[in-house]
Amino acid sequence: MTTIAFDGEVLAADGVAWDGTLRINVNKLNHVTLGENAAKRLGLPIGAEIVWAHCGNLELLQLALQWMRGERDMPDVEKEAMIGLIVDKSSGICYGLTGIYTLNHYLVGQVLGAGSGAKMAVAAMEAGATATGAIEITKRISDEAGGVITYYTLPDAVVAKRDGVVPEGEMQDRLIFGVGIDEMRRIEDEVGNLHK
């Protein structure tokens, strides 16, 4: 269970994971300076400052974190599934990180989610919630998020530079796959409750 959300300015993650049958509190948000091999693999500058909100196997994630910092060789590839979102602090661009250590690129302005609660979080942001609000809603209506929400907010200057330099693609209406009409109505109600 993990819910990660990015609303264009804030990258947020819930704070609970499972260790066997034990529910534990964890920090899923890491500030990292990329080492040479990770930077080359990911196509980002060496020494780039990133924030990684992670999901998946905690042991493998610790190895991946050490690799990103240049402290070890790249861990074995687990699967091609998404293992989190990365925000480049200097450009403000958010990427999806896959289990084969490649980046998925997204349109600027697109709300993004990762983890088992991603669909609900994206639906909440599409309905007007912030990234942290989307995780709070996911906590309220499901078991896909829990614990303390941690987040990183991009500086206003980075957002302004990003939005002025990177052309926004035409945003298409996105269906929120796996979120039913009744569940979407409940999410919209919860977004309304956050604003009261």
pLDDT tens column, 91-122: 999 998 888 888 887 767 789 999 999 999 99
Q: For the CA atoms of 4, 6, 7, 10, what is the dihedral angle to 10 degrees?
A: 100
Could you tell me the residue ranges of all domains in the chain?
Answer: 4-194
Q: What angle do CA 104, 109, 115 make, to 5 degrees?
A: 50
pLDDT tens column, 20-45: 788 889 999 999 999 999 999 999 99
**CATH architecture of the domain formed by 4-194:** 4-Layer Sandwich (3.60)
Measured in residues, the chain has a length of 196
Question: Which range, of 15-24, 46-55, 179-188, averages the lowest pLDDT?
Answer: 179-188
Strand partners, 58: none
For range 71-89, the mean pLDDT: 83
- Residue 117 token pair: 């609660």
pLDDT of 49 higher than 90: yes
For range 143-166, the mean pLDDT: 86
